[in-house]
Structures are given as C-alpha cells and as structure tokens.
Amino acid sequence: MSDDRSKGIILIGAPGSGKGTQAKKLKDQLGYAHISTGDLLRAAVKEGTALGQKAKGFMDAGQLVPDDLVIDLLEEALQTPEAKAGFMLDGFPRTMPQADALDAVVTIDKVIDLQVPFELIEERVTGRRMSPSGHVYHIEYNPPKVDERCDVTGEALYQRSDDTPEKVRERLAKFDSETRPVIAHYQQKGVVVAVDGVGDPEEVFTRIMAVM
Ligand code: AP5
C-alpha cells in the first residue's frame, strides 16, 4: 500500500543548539518548508492574537506552551501546499503527546539530533540577537556588520525575553525532562541521526548534509 501522507524531517536539540541557524541553511539548500513553532508563537505574541496572549506568559518564563495550543498551531502549519511537498520541523515535537499527535498525521523520514554540551549553550543563547524579521545573530560568533542592526533589513536587533541565564536553565531542564524521551521514541523507530553541533555553523551544516 502506498503511503500518501506528507513526509518530512525533524531538527531536534537543546535550546541554542543551532536548530534555527541550520534550518535556514537547509531550507535554502533543499527547499523544505521550515516550520518553527518558536517563530510561529513569537509572531502570534507580536500580533496579540488569542493564542499569543495565552502563550506569552509560558514563553517569558522559559516554560513550554501547553500541548493542545502548540499541536493546533502545528497542524495548521502542515496544511500549506509547501509543507505537503516536504517539511522540516524546528522546535516540534518537544513532548511525547506532541510526538504522538505528529505521528498520527505525517511520516517522519529522519530526525537530526543536534548535540551541543549544555556548558556551551548559555553563552550562545545570552549572546543571541534577533531582527524582527527573524534573522539570527550572535554578538561574538555571528555579529552583524553594523552594530545592533540587521544586515538584511537594517532593522534594530533585539534580545529575546527568554534569553537570560535563569530562563536558559529552565529551558534546558525542560529539554531533559520532556524532549529527551521524544528523541528516545524516534531512536526506537530507527530514524535518529546524531550530529555534532559544536564548531563553525558552516562545518555543522556540512555534517548535516552528509547524513541527509
Ligand atoms: P524556540 O524558539 O523553539 O526556542 P528553543 O528550542 O529554545 O531554541 P532556540 O531558538 O533558543 O535555539 P536554536 O536551537 O534555534 O538556536 P539558534 O540557531 O537560534 O522556542 C521558544 C519558546 O517557545 C519555548 O521556550 C516555549 O516556550 C515555546 N515553544 C516553542 N515550541 C514549542 C513546543 N513545541 N511546545 C511547547 N512550547 C514551545 O542559535 C542560538 C545562538 O547561537 C544564535 O545566536 C546563533 O547565532 C548561535 N549559533 C548557532 N550555531 C552556532 C555555532 N555552530 N557556533 C556558535 N554559535 C552558534
């Protein structure tokens, strides 16, 4: 029997492991629809939608947004023609209920497990700067050409409200308790590939392409 469900890959890893950075490169190279639940939630908060108002407090506290809200958001994002042709998930699934909901509607070909030791994460996350249109910088590892301005749009860069040392620790604890079981779930299915996320982003990208 042929499988006509949408197919895609998952980029999974701790906060600050470089999922967003690598997802943008993969999208350019492979053309998959990039679905980041973090980006979708931040957009909802910015627009002040009902979902954004519910999600904001959880995000600011470094907590996970409740499963039912995120699953609805993801299911909607999977409906676009681009996603039906092939998708790449960044930041979803993060809990077992999310993984079960996903497995019920699509086929996951591969899970890229981006591995970065926790001791390197805090520096990456607290040094991150974002442009309102979603471009990601780092004050040391990927600085903009003009201080505090986006290279692409010229907009002023900002720091995410959850990118403080205390919130990073909260987020890493959630990764350990909620997301590691998701990685184990896909390991049992034989679709997980571990990739070393330490080093220059271009080097990491080369490692990912080698396993695609
Ligand atoms: P989300 O936006 O998904 O955050 P995250 O998973 O914590 O991941 P980050 O965006 O922090 O990091 P990243 O891995 O994308 O790293 P990046 O490439 O930016 O989620 C935010 C919040 O939304 C959650 O806390 C939660 O509240 C909510 N949420 C989202 N999805 C949810 C879900 N499914 N369920 C429930 N709640 C959900 O890189 C980080 C920094 O490092 C950058 O400055 C970058 O320039 C730099 N960098 C990248 N690669 C390298 C490298 N190789 N070397 C040096 N520096 C690097």
Do 9 and 29 form a contact (C-beta atoms < 8 A)? no
Question: What pLDDT was estimated at residue 3?
Answer: 63
Question: What pLDDT was estimated at residue 4?
Answer: 75
- Consecutive H or E run containing 95: none
Confidence of residue 35 (pLDDT cuts 50, 70, 90): very high
Which tokens belong to 158? 């900002």
Tell me how far the alpha carbon of residue 16 lies from the centroid of ligand 1, in angstroms: 5
Mean pLDDT of the chain: 94
CA distance from start to end of the chain: 25
Question: What pLDDT was estimated at residue 140?
Answer: 93
To the question of pTM greater than 0.75 for the whole model, the response is: yes
Domain-wise residue ranges, the chain: 7-127+163-211
Question: What pLDDT was estimated at residue 198?
Answer: 97
**pLDDT above 70 for 121:** yes
The position carrying tokens 């009902």 is: 50
- pLDDT tens readout for residues 104-120: 999 999 999 999 999 99
CATH superfamily of 7-127+163-211: P-loop containing nucleotide triphosphate hydrolases (3.40.50.300)
Nearest alpha carbon to residue 131 among 28, 198, 39: 39
Do 170 and 177 form a contact (C-beta atoms < 8 A)? no
**pLDDT above 90 for 206:** yes
Q: Provide the pairing of β-strand 136-138 with 128-130.
A: antiparallel
Confidence of residue 1 (pLDDT cuts 50, 70, 90): very low
**pLDDT above 80 for 135:** yes
Question: What pLDDT was estimated at residue 181?
Answer: 98
- pLDDT tens readout for residues 69-83: 999 999 999 999 999
- Rounded CA gap, 211 and 179, in Å? 22
- Rounded CA gap, 84 and 7, in Å? 7
- Rounded CA gap, 58 and 161, in Å? 11
- The answer to whether residue 94 is catalytic is yes
Pocket of ligand 1 (CB under 6 A): 13, 15-21, 37-38, 41, 58-59, 62-65, 70, 91-92, 94, 98, 124-125, 127-128, 136-138, 141-142, 162, 171, 199, 201, 204
- pLDDT tens readout for residues 17-28: 999 999 999 999
- Rounded CA gap, 83 and 119, in Å? 35
